[in-house]
Structure 1
Amino acid sequence: MKIQPADGEFARRPHDRLDPRHASPGGSIQSSVLHPYFGGLKSVIPPMARWGIFAAIALYCVAVGFLFALLAPFVMVPFAVPIAALSMAVIWALPDIRNPPIAPLRMMFWIFFPALFLWPNYLAITLPGLPWITMIRLTGIPLVFLLLVCASVSADFRSQTSQVLRASPALWKMLVIFVGIQFLSIFLSDQPANSLQKFIVAQLTWTSIFFVSCYIFLTPRSVIRWSFAFWLITCAVTAIGFLEYVQGKLPWAGHIPSFLQIEDEHVQRILAGAFRDNKYRVQSTFSTSLGFAEFVALALPFALHLTFSRQRIAIRVGAALSIPLFLFIVIATGARLGLIGFIIGPLLYLAFWAVLRWRESRGSLLAPAIAFAYPAIFCAMVASTFFVGRIRNKVWGNGTQTASTQGRIEQYETGIPKVFRHPEGYGIGMASETLGSANQAGIPSIDTYYLLVALDYGILGFLAYYGMILWSIYNATKYAFQGGGRDRDYGLFTPIAISLTIFFVIKAVFAQDSNHPLVFMMMGALAALIYRARRDEQAAQTTT
Structure 2
Amino acid sequence: MASTILKPYEQRKEPGPISRILLFALLLLVAVIYGLMSAVLPMQLITYPLVPLLILIAIILWMLPDLGGIRQDSMSSLMIWYVGLGIVWPNYVAFDFPGLPWITPVRIAVFSMLAIVVINFSTSKEFRGRMKETIAEPKLLNWVFWLFWACTTFSLVFSNKPGESINRYANNQIFWTMMFPLAAFLATRPGFVMKLAKVIVVATAIVMVAGVYEYRIERVFWLDHLPAFLKVDPEYLARVMKSQARAGTDIYRVRGTFATSLYYSEFLAMVFPFFLHFTAKERRFWPFVALLLGTIGMIVVMYLTNARSAMVGLLAASILYLLFVSMRQRTLNKQSIFGTGMVLAYPAAVAVLAVLVNFWPRLHVMVLGGGQHQASSDARKVQWAMGWPKIFSHPFGYGVSRSGEALGYYNLAGEITVDSHYLSMMLDSGILALPLFLMCFFIPAWLCFVNYSNARTPEQELLAPLALGLINFTIVKMVLTSEGSVPLAFIMSGCAMGLIWQRSHAKAAAGVVDAPAGSRALPPPHMAPALTYRG
Quickly name the TM-score band, shorter chain normalised: 0.7 to 0.9
Question: Is structure 2 residue 79 aligned with structure 1 residue 109?
Answer: yes
Q: 1:532 to 1:55 in 2, by over 3 A?
A: farther
Unaligned runs of 5+ in 1: 1-15, 24-28, 33-50
Alignment RMSD (CA, Å): 2.8
2:239 paired residue among 238, 250, 269 = 269
- Name the structure 2 match of 1:508: 478
Q: 2:61 aligns with which of 91, 114, 117?
A: 91
1:7 matched residue in structure 2: none
Distance 2:30 2:64 in 1: 30
Match of 1:291 in 2: 263
User: 2:330 — aligned with what?
Assistant: 358
- Counting only pairs closer than 5 Å after superposition, residues 46-445 of structure 1 correspond to structure 2 as 62=29, 65-66=32-33, 68-69=35-36, 72=39, 75=42, 77-78=46-47, 79-276=49-246, 277-309=249-281, 312-445=284-417
Query: TM-score of the superposition, structure 2-length normalised?
Result: 0.87
TM, length-normalised to structure 1? 0.85
User: Which SS does the other structure have where 1:252 is aligned?
Assistant: helix
Higher relative contact order (CA 8 A, sep 6+): 2
Q: Describe the SS at the equivalent of 2:298.
A: helix
What is the CA distance between 1:166 and its match in structure 2? 1.4
Go from structure 1 to structure 2 and tell me whether the alpha carbon gap of 1:472 and 1:403 turns closer, same or farther (over 3 Å shift): same
Q: Which range is displaced more, 227-236 or 337-346? A: 227-236
Instruction: Note the C-alpha offset of 1:206.
Output: 1.6
- 1:522, distance to aligned residue in structure 2 (A): 1.0
Instruction: Give, in whole Å, the separation in 1 of the partners of 2:299 and 2:167.
Output: 36
Say if 1:263 and 1:244 are closer, same or farther in 2 by CA, change over 3 A: same
Distance 1:30 1:203, change over 3 A: closer
Q: Helix, strand or coil: the match of 1:158?
A: helix
SS of 2:409's partner is coil
1:17-75, Cα deviation, whole Å (9 max, x unpaired) = 8345776xxxxx4569xxxxxxxxxxxxxxxxxx9xx9999879847733642651653
1:520–1:61 Cα change, 3 Å = farther
Unmatched tracts of structure 2, length 5 or more? 515-535
The equivalent residue for 2:5 is 18
Taking the aligned partners of 2:83 and 2:235, their CA distance within structure 1 comes to 28
- Asked if the contact 1:73–1:129 (Cα under 8 Å) also holds between the matched residues in 2, the reply is no
**Between 160-169 and 513-522, the greater mean CA deviation after superposition:** 160-169
CA shift digits 1:121-141 (9 cap, x unpaired)? 011122344332233322211
Between Structure 1 and Structure 2, how many residues are aligned? Answer: 500
Question: Contact between 1:100 and 1:153, CA under 8 Å: does it hold in 2?
Answer: no
- Give the ranges of 4+ consecutive aligned residues of structure 1 lying more than 4 Å apart after TM superposition: 19-23, 54-61, 310-313, 537-540
Structure 1 residue 160, shift from structure 2 partner: 1.8
Q: Percent identity?
A: 27
- For 1:165, the aligned partner's letter is I
The 2-side partners of 1:295 and 1:160 are apart by 31
* Cα 1:336–1:61 shift into 2, 3 Å: farther
Q: What amino acid maps onto 1:137 in structure 2?
A: R
Alpha-carbon spacing, 1:222–1:30, altered in 2? closer, same or farther (3 Å): closer
How far 1:265 sits from its partner (Å)? 2.9
Q: CA deviation at 1:93?
A: 2.4
SS in 2 for 1:488: coil
Distance 1:354 1:58 in 2: 74
Matching of residues 480-495 of structure 1 within 5 Å: 480-481=452-453, 483-484=454-455, 486-495=456-465
- Would you say the 8 A contact 1:167–1:530 is kept in 2? no
Q: Once the 2 structures are TM-superposed, how far is the Cα of residue 361 of structure 1 from its aligned partner?
A: 3.2
Hey, what's the Cα distance between the residues in 2 that align with 1:380 and 1:508? 25
| Distance in 2 of aligned mates of 1:107 and 1:462 | 32
Q: Name the residue aligned to 2:502.
A: 532
Query: In the aligned structure 2, how far is the partner of 1:267 from the partner of 1:287?
Result: 9
Relative to structure 1, the CA distance from residue 71 to residue 494 in structure 2 (aligned partners, 3 Å threshold; closer, same or farther) is closer
| Higher alpha-carbon deviation: 258-267 or 395-404 | 258-267
Judged with a 3 Å threshold, the aligned counterparts in structure 2 of structure 1 residues 17 and 148 are, in CA distance, closer, same or farther, namely: farther
- The letter for the 2-side match of 1:119 is W
Following superposition, the deviation at residue 464 of structure 1 comes to 1.9
Residues 315-324 or 73-82, more deviating? 73-82
- Provide the rounded CA distance (Å) in 2 between the counterparts of 1:400 and 1:20: 77
Aligned residue identity for 1:186: L
Q: 1:352 touches 1:494 (CA, 8 Å); kept in 2?
A: yes
Secondary structure class of the residue paired with 1:178: helix
Q: How big is the shift at 1:458?
A: 0.1
Which AA in structure 1 matches 2:71?
P
* Partners of 1:539 and 1:74 in 2: CA distance: 50
Structure 1 position 522 matched with structure 2 position 509:
no
Deviations 1:418-460 (A, max 9, x none): 1111001011111111111123321111111111111000012
Tell which deviates more after alignment, 249-258 or 342-351: 249-258
Say whether the 8 Å CA contact 1:75–1:130 is kept in structure 2: no
Distance 1:100 1:165, change over 3 A: closer
